[in-house]
């Protein structure tokens, strides 16, 4: 029977041909099936394999259009080689803006700027949050912002990315590049040690007086003014979470530009509380400078009230209800309550300016240049920079701690001979936690965003 079946072809159980070569080995037939433009299955080729040869039967008309969807077949060897260090000069010039990310065997990540792998960036796996990953680059920490979508960049978009790398301003966070070859698209930004403005307000670890608040507001206005006068024209997604603070307490606006990437990011309802009503009503509409002015007003209200936008922690409504009321608008549209602490000497002109910024009609909102001019006149004759002011606050704070410590020691000494054991113990318990808790609060003022 075996001899009779050698070198023959017969119909199999499934209806297809079964071929047996002269050595009694079955010839394997692999069929390549794909979806045609009409989304129907179509056979594009057959691969016949036996002991002596491999034969491929072509059943398509044009490889580029039928197989690769109008694109070229992938190269056997990448343009820059498998290690990324064999790029031709023109490729290096055109793609210098991008950042390449790889993962090493030691469970660390490294990336190099441009095609060279000599400059590496590493990260410990724990240095990651749901939205950011933190790396070391040129011995400095950088933050990688994760994005929800991937995209192919046009030449115009690549040109915009190169322009973003060249943007430089005291109140603008530095854009380093994009990470394209990780599992998730990420934009790389300079790291600011004190986290975001939202973090600082939430921690409430720093006593902010009117001078401090006005300095933060002025920094944001200056950064926003630079964006509005640049090729970017507007930020479009400004929030207090995107206003970062460096070690000198200077505000740096971050996450600007790259609309082709940012348009695909998912935003929570809470994240929309800074968004202008006209944008909420039509989220696909073009972002404009007057929308940034509205967001600027919301951020200013956070600063002078030291609460989250609309003080959500202390209201009964949920974010969805606030968004609904913002979309509804009207003559008396919902806005945050401007009720700063009575101990603060807030200039009334500032509260009037904030209300002008979030007025319902975009055309009635002041321009960023008008805002900068008005803020310049609100200094009340005070001079000096914010860093010196912060040092003065800390010195006063330290003096108060020292005074309380001295008073505590005096009480303990007075009761040392006359007081009973329980009294002395109570005084120690009363004094010690004050110092410990306050120093712990102070230390969190320089915590990184990774927490």
Q: Could you tell me the residue ranges of all domains in the chain? A: 2-66, 83-190, 194-388, 398-446
The residue ranges of DSSP E strands in 249-361, in sequence order, are: 251-253
Residue-level pLDDT at 124: 43
Taking the C-alpha atoms of residue 256 and residue 174, their distance in angstroms, rounded to an integer, is 10
Contacts of 11 (CB under 8 A, 6+ apart): 17, 18
CA of 417: how far to CAs of 45, 414, 421, 424, 427, in Å? 100, 7, 10, 10, 14
Determine the Cα–Cα distance for residues 23 and 50; give it in Å rounded to an integer.
10
pLDDT value for 105: 33
What is the side-by-side order of every strand in the sheet holding 41-49? 8-11, 17-20, 26-35, 41-49, 54-58
CATH of 83-190, one of 1.20.1080, 3.90.1520, 3.30.70, 3.30.200: 3.30.200
Do the domains spanning 83-190 and 194-388 agree at the CATH topology level? no
Looking from the CA of 258 toward its CB, the CA atoms found within 13 Å total 31
C-alpha to C-alpha distance for 296 and 315, rounded to whole angstroms: 22
Helix (H) or strand (E) run with residue 145 in it: strand 140-146
Cα 205 to chain center, whole Å?
Answer: 24
Angle CA 370–255–173, to nearest 5: 75
Its sign, for the CA torsion 352, 354, 360, 365, is positive
Both structure tokens of 290: 């007057």
Question: At residue 308, what are phi and psi to the nearest 5 degrees?
Answer: -70, 165
Distances (CA, A) of 444 to 70, 153, 204, 430: 55, 40, 10, 23
* Confidence (pLDDT) at 3: 61
Six-digit token pair at 412? 């303990």
Cβ-proximal residues to 83 (8 Å cutoff; 6+ apart), any chain:
117
Residues 6+ apart with CB under 8 A from 451: none
Element (H, E) at 233: none
Fold of 194-388: Transferase(Phosphotransferase); domain 1 (1.10.510)
pLDDT along the chain (451 residues), means of 10: 64 68 73 81 83 81 80 79 60 44 35 36 52 80 83 82 91 88 81 88 74 91 96 94 91 90 84 93 88 96 92 89 90 88 84 94 95 85 60 61 59 54 50 36 28 27
Contact 194, 243 (CB under 8 A): no
User: What pLDDT is stored for residue 1 in this prediction?
Assistant: 60
CB contact set of 90 (below 8 Å; sequence gap of 6+): none
Residue 451 pLDDT: 27
């Amino acid at each position: 029977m075996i001899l009779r079946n050698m070198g023959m072809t017969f119909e199999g159980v499934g209806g297809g041909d079964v071929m047996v070569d002269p050595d009694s080995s079955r010839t394997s037939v692999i069929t390549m099936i794909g979806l045609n433009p009409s989304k129907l299955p179509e056979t594009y080729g057959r691969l016949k394999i036996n002991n002596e040869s491999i034969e491929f039967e072509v059943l398509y008309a044009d490889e580029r259009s039928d197989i690769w969807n109008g694109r070229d077949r992938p190269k056997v060897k990448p343009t820059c080689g498998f290690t990324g260090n064999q790029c031709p000069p023109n490729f290096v010039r055109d793609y210098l803006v991008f950042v390449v990310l790889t993962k090493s065997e030691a469970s660390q990540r490294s990336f190099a700027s441009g095609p060279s792998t000599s400059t590496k960036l590493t990260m410990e796996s724990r240095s990651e949050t749901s939205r950011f990953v933190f790396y070391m680059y040129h011995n400095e920490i950088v933050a990688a912002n994760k994005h929800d979508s991937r995209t192919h960049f046009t030449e115009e978009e690549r040109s915009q990315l190169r322009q973003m790398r060249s943007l430089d301003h005291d109140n603008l966070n530095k854009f380093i590049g994009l990470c394209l070859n990780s599992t998730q698209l990420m934009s790389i930004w300079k790291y600011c040690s004190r986290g975001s403005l939202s973090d600082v307000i939430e921690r409430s670890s720093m006593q902010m007086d009117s001078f401090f608040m006005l300095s933060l507001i002025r920094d944001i206005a200056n950064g926003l003014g630079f964006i509005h006068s640049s090729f970017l024209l507007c930020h479009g997604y400004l929030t207090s979470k995107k206003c970062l603070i460096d070690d000198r307490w200077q505000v740096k606006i971050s996450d600007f530009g790259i609309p082709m990437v940012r348009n695909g990011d998912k935003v929570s309802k809470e994240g929309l509380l800074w968004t202008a009503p006209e944008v909420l009503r039509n989220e696909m509409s073009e972002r404009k400078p007057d929308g940034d002015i509205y967001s600027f007003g919301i951020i200013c209200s956070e600063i002078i009230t030291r609460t989250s936008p609309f003080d959500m922690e202390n209201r009964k409504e949920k974010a969805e209800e606030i968004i609904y009321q913002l979309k509804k608008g009207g003559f008396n549209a919902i806005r945050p309550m401007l009720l700063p602490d009575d101990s603060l000497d807030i200039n009334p002109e500032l509260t009037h300016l904030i209300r002008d910024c979030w007025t319902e009609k975009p055309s009635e909102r002041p321009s960023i240049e008008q805002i900068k001019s008005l803020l310049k006149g609100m200094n009340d004759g005070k001079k000096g920079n914010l860093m010196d002011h912060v040092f003065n606050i800390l010195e006063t704070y330290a003096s108060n701690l020292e005074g309380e410590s001295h008073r505590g020691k005096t009480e303990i000494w007075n009761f040392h001979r006359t007081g009973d054991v329980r009294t002395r113990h109570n005084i120690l318990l009363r004094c010690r936690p004050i110092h410990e808790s306050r120093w712990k609060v102070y230390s969190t003022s320089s915590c990184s965003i990774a927490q």
